[in-house]
C-alpha cells in the first residue's frame, strides 16, 4: 500500500478541495507576503492515514502555492510515501492567476514520479513527465490533442476559483485541468449553508457553505475503471475560521478505493493569527525535501 497510484487518486479528492484553502487568501494577500499555512489530516475509518500541508504567498502581481502530503499511522507502516507540488505565476489586475511553472514530485510503492509544466499565453508549452505515462505497460485512455490548450494546473485553477468565490461566495464553477499526466474537468455546485460539528481531529464548529465537486475524466486514466483510486465526486464545507480572512475548507469527504475518506482542517495560521488542535505545528510544504523549486 502506501502512496502508490493513490498519489493521484486522493489528490483529486483532497487537493481539489483543500487547495481552495491555499487560494482563499487571494484578496487578503494582495499586498501581504506573509504565508497562509494550513494543515489537514486525512482519516479512514477513524484512523489518520495521511497529513497535508499548504502554503500560499502573493506578492505584488505574483503568486506561489506549495502543497505536500505524506502517509501517517497505519498506512505508513504498510508503505511510506509522499507527494510535493508547487505552482507560481502572475496575477492579472482582475485577480486572474496565470501560471508560469508547475512542478510535482512523488515517491511511493510504485516508484518515483516527477512532472514539470511550463506555460505560455496559450497554456502548457512544455511538459516533462518521468517516467512517461504508460511506460510501465499500463493501458491508459488517450488525451485528445486539442484538449490541452487553455488548461491550467490544479493549484493555479483553484487559486482562480477562490478569487471568484471571494466575490460572491458561490460554489458554481468549472475548470479545465492538465497535471502533466491526466486531463480532467472539475465542476463545482452549491448545496447551501449547513452547521459543521467537529469530529476526530477537526476543531471547527459553526456555519459553513456546503459545496459539491464532480470529476470528469478526459484522458490519461487507466482503461480499466476498477483501477481508479478515487470516486468521481467529493463534498466539502467552507467556513470563516480566522477573523477578517476569506473562507477555507474545514471538512472534505470523498470516496477512495479503500473506503470513505474524511479530511479535516487541523491548523490554520496567518501571521500571528492561529487556530488548530493543540498538538499541531505549522509546516510549510516549501521546506519539504526532494522537489524542484520553480521559483
C-alpha cell at 277: 488542535
Assess if residue 199 is contained within a domain.
Answer: yes
C-alpha cell at 232: 468521481
Which residues have a Cβ under 8 Å from the Cβ of 262 and sit 6 or more positions away?
A: 42, 43, 44, 199, 200, 251, 252, 253
* Cβ atoms < 10 Å from Cβ of 227: 13
Q: What is the pLDDT along the chain (295 residues), one digit of tens a residue?
A: 344 443 444 455 555 544 555 545 444 444 456 778 888 888 888 888 888 888 888 888 898 988 888 887 655 555 568 889 999 999 998 888 999 999 999 887 778 999 999 999 999 999 999 999 999 888 999 999 899 999 999 999 888 877 777 666 788 889 999 999 999 999 999 999 999 987 766 789 999 999 999 999 999 999 988 777 677 888 989 888 988 777 888 998 888 777 888 888 999 988 888 998 765 444 433 333 345 555 5
Query: How many structural domains comprise the chain?
Result: 1
Q: Indicate the pTM of the whole model.
A: 0.83
* Beta bridge mates, 216: 185
Assess if residue 153 is contained within a domain.
Answer: yes
Assess if residue 294 is contained within a domain.
Answer: no
Q: Residue 31 is part of which domain span?
A: 6-287
Give the helix/strand (H/E) hosting 159: helix 154-168
Assess if residue 283 is contained within a domain.
Answer: yes
Which residues have a Cβ under 8 Å from the Cβ of 133 and sit 6 or more positions away?
A: 140, 181, 220
Assess if residue 292 is contained within a domain.
Answer: no
CB-based contact 39:52 (threshold 8 Å): yes
Assess if residue 1 is contained within a domain.
Answer: no
Residue-level length of the chain? 295
Assess if residue 293 is contained within a domain.
Answer: no
Q: Which is nearest to 91 in space by CA: 5, 130, 33? A: 33
Assess if residue 104 is contained within a domain.
Answer: yes
- State residue 5's pLDDT score: 43
CA angle 157/162/164 to nearest 5° reads 100
Amino acid at each position: 500500500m502506501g502512496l502508490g497510484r493513490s498519489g493521484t487518486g486522493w489528490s483529486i479528492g483532497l487537493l481539489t478541495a483543500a487547495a481552495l484553502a491555499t487560494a482563499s487568501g487571494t484578496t487578503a494577500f494582495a499586498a501581504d507576503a506573509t504565508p497562509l499555512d494550513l494543515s489537514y489530516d486525512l482519516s479512514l475509518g477513524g484512523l489518520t492515514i495521511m497529513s497535508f500541508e499548504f502554503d500560499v504567498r502573493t506578492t505584488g502581481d505574483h503568486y506561489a502555492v506549495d502543497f505536500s502530503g505524506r502517509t501517517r499511522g497505519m498506512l505508513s507502516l504498510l508503505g511510506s510515501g509522499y507527494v510535493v507540488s508547487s505552482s507560481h505565476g502572475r496575477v492579472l489586475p482582475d485577480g486572474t492567476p496565470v501560471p508560469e511553472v508547475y512542478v510535482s514530485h512523488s515517491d511511493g510503492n510504485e516508484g518515483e514520479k516527477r512532472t514539470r509544466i511550463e506555460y505560455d499565453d496559450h497554456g502548457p508549452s512544455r511538459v516533462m513527465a518521468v517516467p512517461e505515462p504508460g511506460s510501465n505497460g499500463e493501458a491508459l485512455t488517450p488525451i485528445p490533442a486539442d484538449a490541452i490548450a487553455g488548461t491550467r494546473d490544479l493549484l493555479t485553477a483553484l487559486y482562480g476559483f477562490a478569487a471568484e468565490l471571494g466575490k460572491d461566495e458561490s460554489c458554481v464553477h468549472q475548470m479545465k485541468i492538465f497535471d502533466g499526466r491526466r486531463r480532467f474537468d472539475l465542476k463545482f455546485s452549491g448545496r447551501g449553508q449547513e452547521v459543521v460539528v467537529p469530529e476526530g481531529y477537526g476543531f471547527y464548529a459553526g456555519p459553513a457553505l456546503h459545496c459539491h465537486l464532480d470529476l470528469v475524466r478526459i484522458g490519461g486514466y487507466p482503461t480499466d475503471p476498477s483501477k481508479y483510486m478515487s470516486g468521481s465526486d467529493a463534498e466539502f464545507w467552507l467556513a470563516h475560521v480566522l477573523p477578517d480572512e476569506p473562507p477555507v475548507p474545514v471538512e472534505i469527504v470523498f470516496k477512495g478505493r479503500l473506503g470513505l475518506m474524511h479530511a479535516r482542517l487541523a491548523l490554520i495560521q496567518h501571521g500571528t493569527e492561529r487556530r488548530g488542535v493543540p498538538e499541531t505545528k505549522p509546516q510549510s510544504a516549501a521546506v519539504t525535501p526532494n522537489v524542484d523549486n520553480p521559483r
